[in-house]
Amino acid sequence: MGVPIDGKIVAAKYKEELKLFIKDRALRGLNSPCIASILIGEDKGSIFYMNNQNKLCSEIGVEYKKIILPKETSEQVVLNTIEDLNNDENIHGIIIQLPIPEGLDEEVIVNKISHLKDVDGLTDINCGKFYKGEKCFIPCTSQGIIELIKSTGIKIKGKNAVVLGRSIIVGKSVAQLLLNEDATVTVCHSKTMDVKSICQDADIIVAAIGSPNFVKEDFIKEGAVVIDVGFTVVDGKMAGDVDYENVIHKASYITPVPGGVGAMTSIMLIKNTCEGLGNEY
């Protein structure tokens, strides 16, 4: 029987460290870090995510500025909004909630964010630095995934890791982070032949494809570590990419949905923001 990896417990360690960091800044007369989060439209998932971020920031002592723009907002207005935040010395991190409405150029909008405030690590500058191995902001979800794997005590070095999905936000970046940890990495996607047999040889599986219960018990070898990044609503309930109830019997460790990866993403966002203040954190 596998052990669930509780993302909230792992995140709590960083939460306490960040609280101490903020408290120390206050004692030295320094202002609290501030994250500005931009939402264009009324995407319910994004609103839910923003509310959770806001709550966590409040608990830690980080300011969180919500900027909600109407769905019909022009691209130029969005770019002007970001430029104002880039120039605001009281704003230390900027994130744009994705997806954005059709008709707006996501690449142009994301890259308008200063790479010095791009705490989600999505701009071309930070992506380039990341893949070159230079110091930069690392995508929050992928960073959280690596921390969850390490929390099990299992060594990543030398392990066979399979990543399901090749998105820039998760798939490609977590594959690179696993390579950085000296794992042997295979990335599977919609054109991959016989995904099941590839997974059956994996010591670590990261599922990030948005396909409910795709990873079945017979995909998993005994003792594999399974990280489920999927998040889909099925019949009013949240479902991951992994058939949790059956896979847990073969995995050594597995993340539930909810309660796994999601809990780490927001704390990594705040961690990145604090690190962006310099060498203090």
Backbone angles phi, psi at 198, to 5 degrees: -70, -45
Predicted pLDDT of residue 204: 98
- 93 and 51 in one domain? yes
* CATH, residue 241: 3.40.50.720
Does residue 128 carry a pLDDT above 90?
Answer: yes
Binding residues for NADP(+): 165-167
- 180 and 75 in one domain? no
CB distance 121 to 136 below 8 Å: yes
Q: Which of 226, 151, 154, 143 is nearest to 177 (CA)?
A: 143
pLDDT digits (tens, 9 = 90+) for 224-247: 999 999 988 778 788 899 999 999
Predicted pLDDT of residue 278: 63
Predicted pLDDT of residue 280: 53
What's the number of CA atoms in the CB half-sphere (13 Å) around residue 234? 12
Domain, as residue range, for 146: 140-262
Residue 7 lies in a domain: no
- What are the angstrom distances between the C-alpha of 92 and each of 58, 112, 188? 16, 15, 36
Q: Three-state DSSP class for 219?
A: helix
CB distance 124 to 118 below 8 Å: no
Binding residues: 165-167
- 149 and 77 in one domain? no
Predicted pLDDT of residue 6: 96
How many structural domains does the chain have?
2
Amino acid at site 270: I
Euclidean distance between CA atoms 260 and 139, whole angstroms: 17
In sequence order, which residues have a C-beta less than 8 Å from that of residue 153 and are 6 or more positions away? none
CB distance 113 to 137 below 8 Å: no
Residue ending a domain, choose from 83, 117, 151: 117
Per DSSP, helices labelled H in the chain are 7-27, 44-60, 75-87, 106-110, 124-132, 140-151, 171-180, 195-199, 244-247, 261-275
Tokens (6 digits) for 19: 């609280």
Predicted pLDDT of residue 51: 92
Does residue 84 carry a pLDDT above 80?
Answer: yes
Does residue 279 carry a pLDDT above 70?
Answer: no
Q: What is the mean pLDDT of residues 15-22?
A: 95
Predicted pLDDT of residue 277: 83
- 161 and 98 in one domain? no
Q: What is the mean pLDDT of residues 165-182?
A: 96
Mean pLDDT, rounded, of the chain? 94
Predicted pLDDT of residue 67: 97
- 190 and 80 in one domain? no
Residue 8 lies in a domain: no
Residue 50 lies in a domain: yes
Predicted pLDDT of residue 43: 85
Backbone angles phi, psi at 101, to 5 degrees: -60, 150
